Structure 1
Amino acid sequence: MTDRTYIDIHVLHSVPPSNLNRDDAGSPKQAVYGGVRRARVSSQAWKRATRVAFTDELHLPAEKLGTRTKRISSLLARRIAARTTLDDAAAARLGTALLAQDLNIKAGKKETETAYLLFFGINQLDAIIDLVAERAEELAALADDALTKAVADLPVREQLTSGHPIDVALFGRMVADIASLNVDAATQVAHAISTHPVEIEFDYYTAVDDQKTAEEDAGAAMIGTVEFTSATLYRFATLGVHQLTDNLGGDTNAALDATRAFLTAFVRSMPTGHQNTFAHRTLPSLVSFVVRDDQPVNLVSAFEKPVRSRGTGIAEESARRLAKELTRAASSWGVTPLTVASVYEPDSGQDTDTLTAAFGTPHNLDEAIACVLQTVRDRLQEPA
């Protein structure tokens, strides 16, 4: 395979009044950029939304995905019990012995939890069970010392360092005190920020007690406020296909499948903060996939000077700004894309040529992803 292949994902996404991602005080997250206050959605929030979309929208099978939990012991025990004739207590004892010997994962405050979240695949747990499934009853019958000795040499750690699920391969894994379990992330996701200044607003709401009569109490049974903002967000992520392929054990077909899943899920996902209050789910106004062999290029500098609405709309002006910045990056800095495939509506104004020159002919999402995957497939098949 080639040394480096990056897919940059640029998204313009307008959302109505909403509170997608709140801080510790309940306010929509913000950032100062270009000297003005912007709406912000953290990278963690959108990565979580992307992972949820793998299941809820793409319906990927559980065996291809991971889970992040402190409850690896109880999860392993339940799967041991389901695979063998052991009762719950014996399965828990065997599972604890397996995890303790080769991994030495620190225990948490609760007996059934670890000290930190672990990110792993269900298929990896099953691979651990495969090591003992045929002699589970024999092992469970041993005394504690004998059980410890019997499982001491089993390659439990090896099962968690290979056969990674899609989301672990994409987003990586860090376990500070067990460095051998670390997985370098194949993706980087930027904090989304608005292309324009924003102000935080307050929604004052009341709730009426349906069972009270007007004679009893004419006032509201509950009052409160919720903060919100609305914004056209610039979202950016980059995917290192070379790292993803390495994380998936060199399986190029698996890497292509994971790439398709990530591109689709990242574009279509949405954080769910206060979603029942605001029904804020929208689709992007522009998506541009840019394949590179040199370096990722975040184009947020297009919005360092904040966009102002002058009758054309913020999203439309933001698209023109983004197009000019993509073109400038190539002409001024020599970072020329291998492929650009985009989803957008052509500008109805005088800058149609600007958009087309930067983003290419408009596609629908499936067509754009197919174009990107063809470039990636060709590069993966090149001799090293």
Structure 2
Amino acid sequence: MSRTIVDVHVVQTVPPSNINRDDTGSPKTAVYGGRRRARVSSQSWKRATRDSFEQLLDPSELGVRTKRVVELVGEEITRQRPELAQRSAELAEAVLTAAGIKISPARKKEALPESGYLLFLSNRQIQNLAELAVHAADVAGEGKPEIAKTEARARADQAHSVDVALFGRMVADATDLNVDAACQVAHALSVHAVDNEYDYFTAVDDHKKADEEEDAGAGMIGTIEFNSSTLYRYATVDVDRLHDNLGDAEATRRAVEAFVRAFVSSMPTGKQNTFANRTLPDAVLVVVRKTQSINLVGAFEEVVPDDTDGGRVVTAIGRLAEHARELHEAFDEQPVDAWVFGVGEKKVAPLAELARRSTFDPTVREVGTLVAERLAEQA
């Protein structure tokens, strides 16, 4: 059966920045092709993408990832039935336990019990679990509510949100509640070698500075590590898996459009106040395939030289186009459709040989339309 895969390739330049740091505060890096590269983890850009969904999708289509699920479901129980406010935590714990989610005491004595791990629930699942708890309380009256495990599990495993359907969910205590992710996001890598640098900074004590008897020395001294890079970013969406998770073709179309828009335009927020490093991509290539997802990072196995003619961005885009063309020819790969947009005709021209020249908004809409058409054909 023909599949529908949406691949998103991005070339993006980032100025001096530290958008994703390791446990020592250093910008993350990786060795690729024998050279040290700047790296932004997939988790970091997935988080930035998911945060962007708040501006692109209705809250009913989104979810919450938290340990504080008893508090979350309890608040919804109170919203649905204010007179149950005093029992909301008890009822929330009961319905979550019935669903197979292990609840443990919180570290703080005064806090409500929590799950032992971050739990990803859609807002509709939270509402449905609360509704089940309220119904059980009505039936039990003053007695102990009885909640059917099968019903509780069903409500925790239906009406998945877009973010749960895309990024997946793992529930260690109840594996039947797991959701296989419909998207994959690669670690972004610089197309060239990098050496991290250090910014030495001082902060002046304003009040001390005004005291004539005090010296004018700094109130704080420190360093921040940073680098600058031209990144290759890649993500892919398995539309068929996404449709399985959401169970609705129209919701799948909206999810694909939201993901493409959010992944392309989002930026992780690490140290953004220090570096003001937010940029938009230099070039974006979106490819719809019917075979498998294809990461084109092989174009940059050999680093782009520092002194390359025309600059790193132009060279990187040219390499990406050449690698994609050669790969398609070698493996008889024939994409269903492809779009390219970016800054400057000279930069984007090599990719325009592989894809239709467009701009951001039309590309997103046309990808969504194609996804809807292919899902309708399979219905």
Per the normalisation by structure 1, the TM-score is 0.92
Structure 1 stretches lacking a partner, 5+ long: none
Distance 2:332 2:4 in 1: 16
Shift of 1:91: 1.2
Q: Report whether the alignment pairs 1:103 with 2:104.
A: no
Per the normalisation by structure 2, the TM-score is 0.93
**Other-structure match for 1:297:** 294
**Other-structure match for 1:120:** 121
Conservation of the 8 A alpha-carbon contact between 1:84 and 1:136: no
Matched letter for residue 369 of structure 1: V
Distance 1:40 1:254 in 2: 33
Summarize the alignment of residues 32-181 of structure 1 with structure 2, pairs less than 5 Å apart: 32-55=31-54, 57-58=55-56, 60-107=57-104, 109-110=106-107, 111-134=112-135, 136-137=137-138, 139=140, 141-142=142-143, 146-147=144-145, 150-153=146-149, 155-181=151-177
Distance 2:98 2:378 in 1: 42
Shift of 1:101: 2.4
Q: Deviations over 1:344-373 (max 9, x none)?
A: 245538x94x33212332x11011122222
Distance 1:330 1:35 in 2: 26
**Other-structure match for 2:377:** 382
Classify the secondary structure of the residue corresponding to 2:373. Answer: helix
Classify the secondary structure of the residue corresponding to 1:131. Answer: helix
Inter-CA distance 374–122: structure 2 relative to 1 (3 Å threshold) = closer
Distance 2:134 2:172 in 1: 30
Q: Deviations over 1:252-294 (max 9, x none)?
A: 1110011100000011110000011001110001111100010
Shift of 1:208: 0.4
Conservation of the 8 A alpha-carbon contact between 1:5 and 1:293: yes
Residue from 225, 229, 233 that aligns with 1:227 = 225
Q: Deviations over 1:173-207 (max 9, x none)?
A: 01122111100100010000000011100000000
Higher mean C-alpha deviation, range 80-89 or range 120-129: 80-89
Matched letter for residue 112 of structure 1: P
Classify the secondary structure of the residue corresponding to 2:22. Answer: coil
Higher mean C-alpha deviation, range 98-107 or range 120-129: 98-107
Residue from 355, 362, 366 that aligns with 2:361 = 366
Distance 2:101 2:351 in 1: 55
| Structural RMSD (CA) | 1.8
Aligned length: 372
**Other-structure match for 2:317:** 319
Conservation of the 8 A alpha-carbon contact between 2:5 and 2:239: yes
Classify the secondary structure of the residue corresponding to 1:233. Answer: strand
Matched letter for residue 46 of structure 1: W
**Other-structure match for 1:260:** 257
**Other-structure match for 2:237:** 239
Shift of 1:134: 4.8
Inter-CA distance 46–211: structure 2 relative to 1 (3 Å threshold) = same
Shift of 1:140: 5.9
Inter-CA distance 266–140: structure 2 relative to 1 (3 Å threshold) = farther
Q: Report whether the alignment pairs 1:272 with 2:273.
A: no
Conservation of the 8 A alpha-carbon contact between 1:131 and 1:154: no
Q: Report whether the alignment pairs 1:195 with 2:191.
A: yes
